[in-house]
């Protein structure tokens, strides 16, 4: 865990920016072979692609408080958390490209990234990962460690039965468990007020007698502060929390989403309030970093991401018959 505030904020900047660069490249890679006519199954990166541009604070400002031994479960939109959690970027990229050097040897794909070295997993079923984090928290407690488990979900997932069962279990057993709700206002095309009977999900903490936190306006600093408290409480055995952060989805639900359901100017307003830019300004203002520092950092990030793509692109595809392996260990 990083204790130094400056270091932490720089770390958060770095992770957010890495995720952003990573996804900007992914947006392009995904469109290869899909032009002029978009075909979801074509190109080097086929299948659904859910990007998290705009949602970076939710991941980085929480995960800065975690170590490799803490567990994170994520969703169909997992890149920003994976990157913050320190998932092997080369293998992750290779997995998304369907290569045999990928995290899952090309079997998982972008929605199914597993890196046990840093205790990261995700999945394509809404709500499905929450109980896994509860189970990890249970294991942490059984082993007598102070490790925590954090489940990241979207605001849409809060209305799944899995959420409720998991939260009750975590609270009942007083587990070191936190759920971060990334409220990006939409569950595909369904607006939050058409899916959720309460305005913010922190109030649902009352149903479990646990702590509920609300972070407004996608604020990386407030998310940092709140997450710190929740993680410390969890480590000390003070029980689970719900953190809901109001965050922004810049892109469609998946790439190729026509977004006809969405007000035309919504995204430009969100983009004008970009959390990475805001953090950068803050770092400069507080003289935690200079323009040169940031530039240097950005260069490093660029290189790291480029290396990952290079690795992925240059890796080999699996043999077709490899499909038959790894069902059982």
Ligand X SMILES: Cc1ncc(C[n+]2csc(CCOP(=O)(O)OP(=O)(O)O)c2C)c(N)n1
Q: Does 101 bind ligand X (CB under 6 A)?
A: no
Nearest distance from residue 258's CB to Mg ion, in Å? 17
Q: Which of residues 51-110 bind a second copy (CB under 8 A)?
A: none
Candidate list 162, 180, 305, 308; residue touching a second copy; CB under 8 A:
162
**CA separation (Å) from 329 to 114, 121, 208, 260, 325?**
15, 18, 38, 45, 9
Among residues 117, 89, 88, 95, the alpha carbon closest in space to that of 318 is found at 95
Q: Strand 120-121 to strand 241-246: parallel, antiparallel, or no bridges (unpaired)?
A: unpaired
Q: Does 138 bind other proteins (CB under 8 A)?
A: yes
- CA–CA separation, 79 and 102 (whole Å): 14
Nearest distance from residue 87's CB to ligand X, in Å? 18
Among residues 126, 149, 134, 148, the alpha carbon closest in space to that of 75 is found at 126
With beta carbons less than 8 A apart as the criterion, state whether 101 and 311 touch: yes
The 227-266 site mask, x for binding other proteins (CB under 8 A), equals -----------------------------x---xx-----
Nearest distance from residue 44's CB to other proteins, in Å? 9
Candidate list 206, 296, 313, 323; residue touching a second copy; CB under 8 A:
206
Q: Does 36 bind other proteins (CB under 8 A)?
A: no
Q: Does 124 bind ligand X (CB under 6 A)?
A: yes
The 125-164 site mask, x for binding Mg ion (CB under 5 A), equals -----------------------------xxx--------
Select 1 or 172, whichever has its Cβ closest to a second copy.
172
| Number of residues lying near ligand X (CB under 6 A) | 15
Per-residue DSSP letters for 94-140? HHHTT-TTSTTTTSS-TT---BGGGTEE--SSTTTTHHHHHHHHHHH
Q: Does 168 bind a second copy (CB under 8 A)?
A: yes
Among residues 152, 166, 179, 180, the alpha carbon closest in space to that of 74 is found at 152
- CA–CA separation, 119 and 77 (whole Å): 17
Of 110-118, 132-140, 157-165, 217-225, which part binds a second copy (CB under 8 A)?
157-165
Q: Does 198 bind a second copy (CB under 8 A)?
A: yes
With beta carbons less than 8 A apart as the criterion, state whether 48 and 40 touch: yes
Which two structure tokens, joined as six digits, stand for 102? 């990928």
Q: Does 329 bind a second copy (CB under 8 A)?
A: no
Of 121-129, 200-208, 265-273, 317-325, which part binds ligand X (CB under 6 A)?
121-129
The 210-249 site mask, x for binding a second copy (CB under 8 A), equals x---------------------------------------
With beta carbons less than 8 A apart as the criterion, state whether 122 and 104 touch: no
- CA–CA separation, 79 and 93 (whole Å): 10
Nearest distance from residue 113's CB to ligand X, in Å? 15
Which two structure tokens, joined as six digits, stand for 96? 């998304």
Q: Could you say which of ligand X, a second copy, other proteins, none residue 112 binds, taking C-beta under 5 to 8 angstroms by partner kind?
A: other proteins
Our CA angle for 216, 234, 182, nearest 5°, is 30
Q: Does 267 bind a second copy (CB under 8 A)?
A: no
- CA–CA separation, 254 and 48 (whole Å): 6
List of residues contacting ligand X (CB under 6 A): 76-77, 124-126, 153-157, 184, 186-188, 253
Q: Using CB under 8 A, list all residues that contact a second copy.
A: 159-165, 168, 171-172, 194-198, 203-204, 206-210
């Amino acid at each position: 865990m990083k204790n130094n505030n400056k270091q932490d904020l720089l770390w958060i900047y770095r992770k957010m920016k890495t995720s952003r660069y990573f996804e900007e490249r992914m947006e392009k890679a995904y469109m290869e072979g899909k032009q002029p006519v978009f075909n979801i199954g074509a190109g080097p990166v086929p299948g659904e692609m859910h990007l998290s541009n705009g949602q970076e604070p939710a991941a980085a400002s929480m995960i800065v408080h975690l170590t490799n031994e803490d567990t994170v479960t994520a969703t169909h939109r997992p890149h920003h958390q994976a990157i913050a959690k320190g998932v092997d970027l080369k293998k992750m990229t290779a997995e998304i490209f369907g290569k045999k050097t990928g995290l899952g040897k090309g079997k998982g794909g972008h929605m199914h990234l597993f890196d046990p070295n840093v205790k990261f997993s995700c999945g394509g079923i809404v709500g499905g990962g929450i109980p896994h984090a509860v189970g990890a928290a249970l294991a942490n407690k059984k082993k007598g460690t102070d490790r925590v488990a954090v489940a990241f979900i979207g605001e849409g997932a809060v209305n799944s039965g899995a959420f409720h069962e998991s939260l009750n279990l975590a609270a009942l057993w007083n587990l070191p468990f936190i759920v971060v709700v990334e409220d990006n206002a939409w569950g595909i095309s369904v607006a939050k007020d058409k899916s959720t009977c309460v305005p913010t999900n922190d109030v649902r903490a009352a149903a479990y007698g646990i702590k509920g936190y609300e972070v407004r306006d996608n604020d990386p600093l407030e998310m940092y502060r709140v997450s710190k408290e929740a993680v410390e409480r969890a480590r000390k055995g003070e029980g689970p929390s719900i953190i809901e952060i109001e965050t922004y989805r810049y892109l469609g639900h998946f790439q190729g989403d026509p977004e006809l359901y969405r007000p035309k100017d919504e995204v430009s307003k969100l983009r004008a309030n970009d959390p990475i830019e805001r953090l950068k300004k803050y770092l400069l203002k507080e003289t935690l970093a200079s323009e040169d520092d940031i530039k240097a950092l950005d260069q490093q990030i660029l290189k790291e991401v480029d290396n990952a793509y290079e690795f992925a692109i240059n890796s080999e595809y699996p043999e077709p018959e490899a499909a038959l392996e790894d069902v059982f260990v």
